[in-house]
Amino acid sequence: MDSDNKVWKVINGGVAAPKGFYAVGVQAGVKSRDKYDVALVFSQVQAQAAGVYTRNLVKAHPLYLTQHHLQNGLAQAIVINSGNANACVGASGDQAALAMAQVVAMFLAVHVEDVLVASTGVIGVEMPIDRVLNGIRAASAELLGDVVKGIREPKEISEDGAHRAALAIMTTDTTVKERALELPCQGGVIRLGGMAKGSGMIHPNMGTMLGFLTTDANVAASELQRILREAVDESFNMVTVDGDTSTNDMVLVLANGASGLMLSGEDLLNFEKMVKMMCVELAQDIARDGEGASKFMEVTVNGAKTKEDARKIARSICGSSLVKTALFGEDANWGRIFTAAGYAGAEFNPDKVDILLGDLIVALAGRGVEFSEEKAKEILGFKDVHISLNLHIGEEQATAWGCDLTHEYVTINGSYRT
Cα–Cα distance, 41 to 52 (Å, whole number): 18
- Helix, strand, coil abundance in the chain, percent, nearest 5: 35, 30, 35
Count of domains in the chain? 2
- Confidence class of residue 28 from pLDDT cuts 50, 70 and 90? very high
Query: Is there a single domain that holds both residue 175 and residue 235?
Result: yes
Task: Using alpha carbons only, give the angle 83, 86, 92 rounded to the nearest 5 degrees.
Answer: 135
Which residues, in sequence order, are CB contacts of 249 under 8 Å at separation 6+? 53, 54, 198, 206, 207, 208, 209, 210
229 and 143 in a common domain: yes
pLDDT at 408: 75
Q: What is the mean pLDDT of the chain?
A: 90
CATH number of the domain to which 207 belongs: 3.60.70.12
Q: What are the pLDDT digits (tens) for 341-378?
A: 999 999 999 999 999 999 999 999 999 999 999 999 99
Q: Which domain holds residue 314?
A: 296-414
Same domain, 133 and 24: yes
Tell me, what CATH number does 303's domain have? 3.10.20.340
Residues 384 and 258 in one domain: no
Q: What are phi and psi of 162, to 5 degrees?
A: -65, -35
Among the listed residues 172, 208, 214, 399, the single catalytic one is 208
Q: pLDDT for 105-160, tens place per residue?
A: 999 999 999 999 999 988 999 999 999 999 999 999 998 863 333 445 666 666 78
Q: Is 399 a catalytic residue?
A: no
pLDDT at 5 > cutoff 70 = no
**DSSP secondary structure code for residue 193 in this structure:** E
